[in-house]
Amino acid sequence: MAEAGASVDKAAGDLLLEICAAPDHDHAATLKALAPGQWHDLLALGQLTRTLPLVARAMHRAQLSDTMPPALAEPWREELRLQAMRTLVQAQEIARTLGLLAAEGFCPIALKGLALAFRYYPDPSLRPLRDLDLLMTVDEAPAAQQFLLCHPQYRRRRGAGHYGVDHSHQLPEIEHVESGLVIELHHRINARGWPGEAALLAMLRDDCQPVTLLGQQIMVPSPEVNLLHLVEHATLHHLFCNGPLLLADLYYLAASRPIDWSRLHTLAGTMHLRNALNLVLALAADLGAHWPPYAASTEIAPEHLAAARRALVGGDERARVLALRNRLDQRAGGKARLHDAALRLLRPDPVELARHSGHAPDTALRWLGYPGWLKEKGRRFWQLTRDAGAQKAGAAQAGLASWLHQG
């Protein structure tokens, strides 16, 4: 199936968001109304955003498994089989990795997706994991990274770069050689100056619960704390470009136990997350979810709702192109802009060069990554010149980001 992107059919994109926001609702009428081309877009977008199992579940519940165009049926079934097998392999490797860390005295907290997949979703294959996020202390994370990198079954992920705890909220990604499981060792949750980070970080460390996966005990955040982290991660950190699984995550978290929404709203206010939480809940209500009661009455500017919906199905690459558009718009014109661009070409970020070269950013070998870095920048600029709606979408994205950071 081909990749979906910014030009995906609107009806297919809206339907995918509605399925994610309310996975247990009946989506038969909308599914039946899809044209063959829209089926293709829906399935391609589901594959791109790791939501294909949720689409399949909606089709099965509506007894519409034979409705899609015959040419798409077999690729669709094959992708579902692969995702189910991937979930099983991931579970085995996650348990094994955490067992190895536990044997060395490490007890990390598994963030976001793991608890969702194996505790709150009705079937873990409905929630494919992109990586294993582990929260550790600033001292433990480098030691755990070194331990795993010295183990023959793990290696630094290709393109992960070379940097320490001062550069970001996490260390460079590690991957399991055979399964490809990506492991991210976090010592913070946001490195972008968000004033609420310390409070949420403390809650993540203090309000945890055990989960058992294939005999291995794992500590995960409580549903309320996980929900706040998911909201922060999707809004302040990714501006919704990490995809529509956010909506299904919130749906199943809310269904897992009674949540004190009033308390959660108060906590969000103290963490400068009130706008973010209100937007996410209003978005879910706008897409057909019926929780919590106050979400539907929360007043959110229509342009912010529209920008969030577009970003959820736009993907990471589209978000980077729009960010480039915004940077170009913010800079001075004429000679000043040319001078600025020339300096960036002559003095690129050493960490970015290291990511492309595979060498440390403080060595001359980092410059081996310059051709790859230049190619990546050129590709995004080329995409930008071909994207007629980029200027308008970029302005909406910038407005949304500014409003979210107001707290």
- Among residues 167, 104, 177, 101, the alpha carbon closest in space to that of 134 is found at 101
| Phi–psi pair at 249, nearest 5 degrees | -55, -45
117-125, Cβ contacts within 8 angstroms, sequence gap of 24 or more? 117/87, 118/91, 118/211, 118/213, 119/211, 119/220, 119/256, 120/223, 120/252, 120/253, 120/255, 120/256, 121/248, 121/252, 122/252, 123/53, 124/87, 124/91, 125/53, 125/83, 125/84, 125/87
pLDDT of residue 334: 45
Percent of the chain's residues with pLDDT above 90: 49
Contacts of 57 (CB under 8 A, 6+ apart): 23, 126
| Phi–psi pair at 236, nearest 5 degrees | -70, -35
Length of the chain, in residues:
407
Apex 340 CA angle, 337 and 341, nearest 5: 85
pLDDT in tens, 318-350: 555 445 555 555 554 544 554 565 556 567 777
Domains of the chain by residue range: 1-68, 69-300, 307-404
For the domain covering 69-300, report its CATH number: 3.30.460.40
Across 50-54, 347-351, 362-366, the highest mean pLDDT is recorded for: 50-54
The two structure tokens encoding residue 360: 């440390």
Across 65-74, 166-175, 397-406, least confident range: 65-74
CB 76, CB 65: distance < 8 Å: no
Report the alpha-carbon distance of residue 19 to residue 52 in Å, rounded. Answer: 10
Across 63-67, 96-100, 334-338, 399-403, least confident range: 334-338
Residue 4 has pLDDT above 50, yes or no: no
- Among residues 4, 27, 6, 3, the alpha carbon closest in space to that of 320 is found at 6
Contacts of 217 (CB under 8 A, 6+ apart): 210, 211
Q: Measured on CA atoms in the order 177, 178, 182, 187, is the torsion positive or negative?
A: negative
pLDDT of residue 194: 92
Task: Identify the bridge partners of residue 209 per DSSP, sorted by sequence position.
Answer: 220
Question: How much is the average pLDDT of 10-37?
Answer: 92
- Pick the residue with more confidence: 352 or 96? 96
Average model confidence (pLDDT) for the chain?
A: 85
Distances (CA, A) of 358 to 140, 338, 349: 24, 30, 14
Across 58-67, 259-268, 291-300, 391-400, the highest mean pLDDT is recorded for: 259-268
pLDDT of residue 373: 75
Question: How much is the average pLDDT of 233-250?
Answer: 93
CB 176, CB 154: distance < 8 Å: yes
Residue 176 has pLDDT above 90, yes or no: yes
pLDDT band of residue 259 (cuts 50, 70, 90) is confident
Question: How much is the average pLDDT of 258-278?
Answer: 92
pLDDT in tens, 281-307: 999 999 999 877 776 667 899 999 999
- Among residues 75, 177, 72, 90, the alpha carbon closest in space to that of 127 is found at 90
Strands 132-135 and 182-186: parallel
- Among residues 119, 48, 17, 76, the alpha carbon closest in space to that of 315 is found at 48
Apex 213 CA angle, 21 and 78, nearest 5: 55
